[in-house]
Amino acid sequence: MPINILMPALSPTMEKGNLSKWLKKEGDKVKSGDVIAEIETDKATMEVEAVDEGTIAKILVPEGTQDVPVNNIIAVLAGDGEDVKAAGAGAGSASTTRTPDAPKAEATKAAAPAPAAAPAPAKAVQQAAPAAAPASNGARVFSSPLARRLAKDAGIDLSRVNGSGPHGRVVARDIDQAKSGAGLKPAAASAPAGGTGAMGAPAMSDPQILALYQEGSFESIPHDSMRRTIAQRLTSATNSMPTFYLTIDCDLGKLSAAREDINAAAGKDKDGKPLYKLSVNDFVIKAMALALQKIPEANVSWTEAAMLRHKHSDIGVAVALPFGLITPIIRQAELKTLSAISNEMKDLAARAKGKKLKPNEYQGGTSSVSNLGMYGIKDFTAVINPPQSSILAVGTGEERAVVRNGQIVAATIMSVTLSCDHRAIDGALGAELITAFKKLIENPVMMVV
């Protein structure tokens, strides 16, 4: 019996993915373990392996298709001895389904796709006939499937778009015009789109924003999946998480001296390059990890049923990418040496920029560090990354005038700000955590004893 191959869940939170590339074509034979496709999530591009043996009878979702829901049928496999043409002709109706394996990522063991009694067909096989889509004001709007997808991605209310297709049908070119504010009906014709903003006030819809700018005075750059995910997660975090902030100054005098000595003593590899080169951020990661161990009540995650108190300090480190932001995680950072943290961080950052991280390398974590010191930022506040309950924002180390023993002297000072989820961490507890961090960062010898 033909086997339906479904869009796999490559992480516990994945709902949709982009089918970036097929590595097999129709008629190719595959066996279990063969890499058949590349799936792009919001954070990484991952190879997908076949579960069963057989011949690819029909590819239903072409490469380059975006936002394919988990469990949608992406291809049909004809088993051994089956008629490939017959299997392809009945594509999408086979009673046996298989989800491709995710690529050697521990996180996928926990990524159980939601059960589906009848998987919906993939985008590539949805009916192409005109369909009436419900608009935000309850009206029915006739539009093409492509126009509906483009409107959804751009946040445009279909009921406000003037259709230029047969019988007033909205087509793709109408959405392109609407992005620039042209071809739109008056705002009164539809309900406001875009949800609510601060203090519950309605947020401006895309057409309302576009109407404020002259056509041709800007470039419209569509959001990719990473940017949309960042927007959704951080908006949810700021709206649902009561957050307070604690700022403290740290003297980097002893740390700077220790860093110079340690880097000078580093051995060389076979190519004559240092085995490691510690940065201030490596010390920050280690100090935060140890501080969470000293104040275990702050090493927690909030759930509605219980508080999760973590045994280890898994520290996420914010890495800026041209297309967004990602926080690869140093697992059990409290147990690792500074040189191990340094080398692991360099590897994670390099692979993050190539979108080669596995889900378990950037999901979870117990706290995070965001460092903008290299940009000369003195201090700032960072948004907590759920389900974590804290994040440390690190500013630049700079010379400032301080008073010691009644004398004004110059010292290298670094300001850090701790963001705390008040549901899990109270003010006094947060103060204990950031104070523990200060003691460690100002006395780095305490990190190695």
For 270-306, the pLDDT digits (tens) are: 888 999 999 999 999 999 999 999 999 999 999 999 9
Separation of alpha carbons 178 and 154, rounded Å: 9
User: pLDDT (tens digit, 9 = 90+) per residue, 190-249?
Assistant: 333 445 454 444 567 888 888 889 988 999 988 877 788 788 888 888 888 999 999 999
What confidence score (pLDDT) does residue 131 get? 46
* 53-70 average pLDDT score: 88
Helices 253-264 and 280-294, axial angle in degrees (round to 10): 120
426 versus 9: the higher-pLDDT residue is 426
Which position has the token pair 């940065």?
279
Closest CA to 5 of 64, 126, 87: 87
User: pLDDT (tens digit, 9 = 90+) per residue, 73-107?
Assistant: 998 888 877 777 777 776 654 445 556 665 443 33
What confidence score (pLDDT) does residue 46 get? 82
What confidence score (pLDDT) does residue 306 get? 94
Confidence of residue 370 (pLDDT cuts 50, 70, 90): very high
Q: Is the model's pLDDT at 331 over the cut of 90?
A: yes
Domain 230-448 class, CATH top level: alpha beta
Separation of alpha carbons 159 and 175, rounded Å: 11
Closest CA to 117 of 100, 102, 101, 97: 97
Residue 422 falls in the annotated catalytic set: yes
Burial 405-418 (b: 16+ CB within 10 A, else e): eeeeeebbbbbbbb
Give bridge partners of residue 213 from the DSSP assignment.
none
**CB of 232 closer than 8 Å to CB of 419:** no
User: pLDDT (tens digit, 9 = 90+) per residue, 147-169?
Assistant: 887 887 777 877 778 887 766 77
* Domain 131-222 part of CATH 4.10.320.10: yes
What confidence score (pLDDT) does residue 80 get? 76
CATH 3.30.559.10 domain residues, the chain? 230-448
176 versus 112: the higher-pLDDT residue is 176
What confidence score (pLDDT) does residue 233 get? 81
**CB of 33 closer than 8 Å to CB of 50:** yes
Closest CA to 368 of 319, 318, 419, 316: 316
**CB of 143 closer than 8 Å to CB of 163:** yes
Tell how far CA 72 is from the center of its chain: 22
What confidence score (pLDDT) does residue 239 get? 85
**CB of 161 closer than 8 Å to CB of 176:** no
CATH 2.40.50.100 domain residues, the chain? 3-110
AA identity, residue 352: A
Separation of alpha carbons 185 and 166, rounded Å: 18
172 versus 446: the higher-pLDDT residue is 446
Pick the catalytic residue from 167, 310, 312, 422.
422
What is the Rg, in whole angstroms, of the alpha carbon atoms belonging to the chain? 27
What confidence score (pLDDT) does residue 437 get? 98
Confidence of residue 109 (pLDDT cuts 50, 70, 90): very low
pTM comes to 0.64
What confidence score (pLDDT) does residue 3 get? 84
* 419-439 average pLDDT score: 98
CA atoms within 13 A on the CB side of 397: 15
What confidence score (pLDDT) does residue 173 get? 80
Separation of alpha carbons 171 and 143, rounded Å: 6
Q: Is the model's pLDDT at 261 over the cut of 60?
A: yes
Average of per-residue pLDDT values in the chain: 82
Domain 3-110 class, CATH top level: mainly beta
What confidence score (pLDDT) does residue 101 get? 60
CATH 4.10.320.10 domain residues, the chain? 131-222
